[in-house]
Amino acid sequence: MSFRIERNDITKVHTDAIVNTANPMPTVGSGTDAAVYTAAGVDLLLAERKKIGVIERGQAAYTPAFRLLATNGIRYIIHTVGIRWKGGNQGETEIMRNCYRNSLRIAKELNCKSISIPLLATGNYGFPKGMALHIALDEISQFLFENEMEIVLVVYDKESFKVSSKIFNGVQSFINEHYIGQKRDINNGSEIRAFYLDRDDYRRRRREEELEETSRITGSSLQENREDFETEKQITPIKSISIDDYMKQNEGGLNFQDLLRKHIIDKGLDNPTVYKRSIIVDKKLFSKIINGHIPNKHSVMALGLALELNKDEYVRFLATANYALNPAEMFDIIVQYCVENKIYNVMEVDAYLFQHDVPCFNDKA
């Protein structure tokens, strides 16, 4: 089971099946439909399509892929018919959901191991891109929860793929506030890249910059200011904490596997639900994890999303696997935004990563 977003021409992908945004009548349409007919062989595909006849909106049917089998290994073309956006009161949303459901159902019946799907109805039909993306991710997510298949959401270009402007702007504002991966010298416009291991390292560097600034303003030596700062740190009283409070803060000293089990139980989940929600952790890997294996950072991050942890829980969960959110990594910043805003669907998080030209979870697995 896997999911990824890929910028490509759907006639150039390599999956068992592709979905075509078809005309309801057995004729060659425009856009993606025309491209699919051309790649498969117009005469061959049209003759087969005529055998099917009219396809109602929201329904789907399949044909062989003809020439696409030899060129790309594509065995089937699943034709589905969307609907023009008319304001949202004409049943458009449910019809589009049916397009995805019926296309995926047919792929399953054909025993396809992989399928590529474009973002349906966002071209000539004018379906709002943000809403179309939400429908696609929701239906694909529900299908993958019950079925094993590799699903590729194919995007022809960046303009055809957009999360809602509200979410996009929210993510961008969060990045601007938290990301320290690069800074720009305002005086000459040149770009200065500064990558830090973690936020503690960043704070140490910032303290050093502040000490240098104090020395410049006061005329005192950098060493004197550093010594004053160290003395100030030494006399700062240490707040006492009871053993019970310490254990509570540290989840009783649980290791990664113990904390994973605890969250699963506390949230009323089961193992399959957690690894299926994570998308990139399969049953075999999850079994290894439960038995002591520490996976890579991005698998741990995906599991944390699957568990729907709050920010504090998420940070502690990563820490037990010896990982941390890195303010110098755009990937980490966007995931942190999603955690803080309770956006836990890994596919949806992938959409925000993709929109910002950041490799997605499946790319990191």
- The yes-or-no answer on residue 312 being catalytic is no
CA distances from 307 to 15, 136, 338, 339, 360 (A): 31, 22, 13, 11, 19
Please answer whether residues 298 and 364 qualify as being in contact, where contact means their C-beta atoms are separated by less than 8 angstroms.
Answer: yes
List all residues 6 or more positions away from 188 whose beta carbon is below 8 Å from its beta carbon.
none
Please answer whether residues 344 and 134 qualify as being in contact, where contact means their C-beta atoms are separated by less than 8 angstroms.
Answer: no
> For residue 144, what is the DSSP state?
H
Per the residue annotation, which of 33, 258, 282, 350 is the catalytic one? Answer: 33
E runs forming strands in the chain: 2-7, 17-21, 60-64, 76-80, 114-118, 150-155, 182-184, 191-193
| C-alpha span between 135 and 87 (Å, rounded) | 16
Q: Tell how strand 60-64 and strand 76-80 pair up.
A: antiparallel
Q: Tell how strand 114-118 and strand 150-155 pair up.
A: parallel
Active site residues: 33
